[in-house]
Amino acid sequence: MTTIDSLITKIINFSEPTVEDRLPNRDAKVLRSLAMSMTNQFFITENQGRLLLKILRENIKNLSEFTEEISLALMDPIWSKDFRQVEQVRKLYLEKDTDEDLSVFVEFTFNSEIRRILAEITKKCENLVMLGNGKRYQADLTEKNIVALVECLLPFKFEIDEKIQNHYDTIKSWSETVIREQFLVTNIANTNFHKHITADLGIETAIDQSIINDRSMRYRYFIENAKNHGETLTEVMANRCTSRLWIDKNHHDLSEVISSLKKLRRLPLLVIFDTVVNDTYNTNLETLSHALENNGIFEKIGIYFRLPNDEDGKKFNTMIAHKQYNYPLDSDTQVVAVQSGKLPKFFLKNAWRPMSVITLDSRMGMRHGKTAVYSSCCDLIVEWAEAPTIAEQRIVNQWR
């Protein structure tokens, strides 16, 4: 009996008319391509075999010279060789990334359904990114990511690393009620916790509800009353859901933003000037200067970059000198400013750290680069711009 592969070879070798003249363009290309694959030692896969049968079945009327042979072959399809076996890789495991940090990796043989599922859960996972050819993904090693990935991949029979499975079982064993009560701010008796809070705010500080809510992200405690969106900008900052907060500059000027930071005792402040749209340097410096002065901040300000001595650059550099924005970086510095992606080396050797960060009109966001890595230690990063950057739209809180 004629094998399917020999029949297909016969069909594509028929020249009057050619297979391209008889079949739809896509089907003709598939026939020629897979016919070539059937001649090598690896043969074709079972799925490719099914596709060939489908093409023959749908085009039997177009191949009039072979109608009888095709009908007989399709009744009981046989092949001259065994199908090539495709190794099915489906693994969820831990491994160090290029920065030597332990991360969660997902690896699998191409499957459109798995890719669709992973695309859907990017909203639930922190920094879930596709690597290379789309058969490998990487995500941060967090409790949230472990639960999300295990639960979405388990139905696809993934091989799950024992450590990840143990982490997952431990996380799922936790009682949310018990955990919340354990880390409720009124129940925390740990002396180190109270020591850090006191060092942060000072003994004499009058602590209102906004400050209590604000510090819950910094010190990872829960509050008795559920957070709400808030009616004022200060309340919105205090009740943010993530460390990143977009504030619409068309509705709130920079003076109002810095005023809220002062009310929340969020100085010292790091201000980041955008390097992509560089015609705003002078405007943003003037805006920043007015905002600081409106909030009674006149000294201990350091702007640690200068511009080339062209017309705009001279104006920028002269204003820094005139305002004496050249205070050295030390424990007393209230406000510092740098360019995005360009962090001076002396920051790394200095104990100074920001309590809050403001990016001015950033087009690139704060996801990558030296300033982004440095700022990641801060639990309040304000993006003051007309619209959130594309990279941040999914994760920033929005306040107009």
pLDDT at 61: 87
- % of residues, the chain, pLDDT over 70: 91
ω before 17 within 30° of 0 (cis)?
yes
167 within some domain: yes
Give the confidence band of 202 by pLDDT, cuts at 50, 70, 90. low
- CA count, 13 A, side-chain hemisphere, 37: 16
Task: Mark whether 249 and 334 lie in a shared domain.
Answer: yes
Mean per-residue pLDDT for 305-330? 94
How far apart, in Å, are the Cα atoms of 54 and each of 51, 70, 162, 224, 239?
Answer: 5, 11, 42, 63, 58
Give the confidence band of 390 by pLDDT, cuts at 50, 70, 90. very low
Q: Which residue has better confidence, 43 or 16?
A: 43
Residue 232, sorted as left (phi over 0), alpha (psi -120 to 50) or beta, turns out to be beta
Report the C-alpha gap between 275 and 281 in whole angstroms: 9
Task: Mark whether 287 and 322 lie in a shared domain.
Answer: yes
pLDDT at 395: 42
How far apart, in Å, are the Cα atoms of 335 and each of 354, 373, 385, 398?
Answer: 9, 19, 19, 25
Task: Mark whether 60 and 13 lie in a shared domain.
Answer: yes
Q: Which residue has better confidence, 296 or 40?
A: 296
> Per residue in 38-84, pLDDT tens?
888 788 888 889 999 999 999 988 888 888 888 988 999 999 888 88
Structural domain boundaries enclosing 327: 240-399
293 within some domain: yes
Q: What is the CA radius of gyration of the chain?
A: 31
pLDDT at 215: 87
Q: Is the pLDDT of residue 363 over 90?
A: no
- CATH label of the domain that carries residue 249: 3.40.50
How far apart, in Å, are the Cα atoms of 262 and each of 84, 194, 268, 366?
Answer: 68, 22, 9, 23
Q: Which residues contact 165 (CB under 8 A, 6 or more apart)?
A: 150
- CATH label of the domain that carries residue 108: 3.30.780
pLDDT at 317: 95
Q: Is the pLDDT of residue 120 over 80?
A: yes
Mean per-residue pLDDT for 17-36? 89
Mean pLDDT of the chain: 86
Q: Is 123 exposed, middle or buried (0-12, 13-18, 19+ CB in 10 A)?
A: exposed
pLDDT at 206: 60
Give the confidence band of 287 by pLDDT, cuts at 50, 70, 90. very high
Report the C-alpha gap between 269 and 252 in whole angstroms: 18
Task: Mark whether 47 and 150 lie in a shared domain.
Answer: no
Provide the number of structural domains found in the chain.
Answer: 4
pLDDT at 282: 93
Distance of CA 327 to the CA centre of its chain: 36
Task: Mark whether 354 and 304 lie in a shared domain.
Answer: yes
User: Dihedral sign, CA of 282, 287, 293, 296?
Assistant: negative
83 within some domain: no
Mean per-residue pLDDT for 204-212? 73
Q: Is the pLDDT of residue 343 over 60?
A: yes
Q: Is the pLDDT of residue 235 over 70?
A: yes
